[in-house]
Amino acid sequence: MNIEDILRQNKIKVTKARTRILYIILNSENSISAEQIYNNCINSGEDINLSTVYRTLEAFEEKHIVDKFDLGEGRYTYCLKKNSHMHILRCSLCNREIEVPCPMHQVEELVKNKTGFTLTEHHLILKGICEECKNKKS
Ligand SMILES: [Zn+2]
Ligand SMILES: [Zn+2]
């Protein structure tokens, strides 16, 4: 799928800046900050300002095109939303199971940022108490 199609599919008006920003995110191996995107644009002769980059990233985030990662200390990076897999969440009381989207992406980014490790695998055991059981108890 090309970049303009992704924008159109998400009902985002195609502009040169948006196309360029999404292109940079698509072609970035690691998650990337707004400043890095901005510098990349400037280096390739794009006439753009930093607030446009921020606004565009916000719009992409709203449309679930990108994931935003909080690296702490007010630093954020962005990457294309992965087709996330699901994990099973099981109720400790009635054993009902539901699927939830993988919550590990944030952790993956933190680990990469702190240690340089790229996680290739994880196992999660999620336990909780479902709403029904919780209501019964109280
Ligand atoms: Zn339950
Ligand atoms: Zn997972």
Mean pLDDT for the chain overall? 89
| pLDDT bucket at 122, cuts 50 / 70 / 90 | confident
Residues 10-55 have pLDDT tens digits of 899 999 999 999 999 988 888 999 999 999 999 999 889 999 999 9
Q: What beta strand segments (E) does the chain contain? A: 66-72, 75-80, 86-91, 97-101, 126-128
Q: At what angle do helices 34-43 and 16-26 cross, to 10 degrees?
A: 110
pTM of the model as a whole: 0.65
CA 102 to ligand 1 center in whole angstroms: 21
Cα-trace Rg, the chain = 19
CA 92 to ligand 1 center in whole angstroms: 7
Nearest ligand, CA 98: 1
CA 89 to ligand 1 center in whole angstroms: 11
Torsion of CA 83, 61, 78, 8, to 10 degrees: 70
Nearest ligand, CA 137: 1
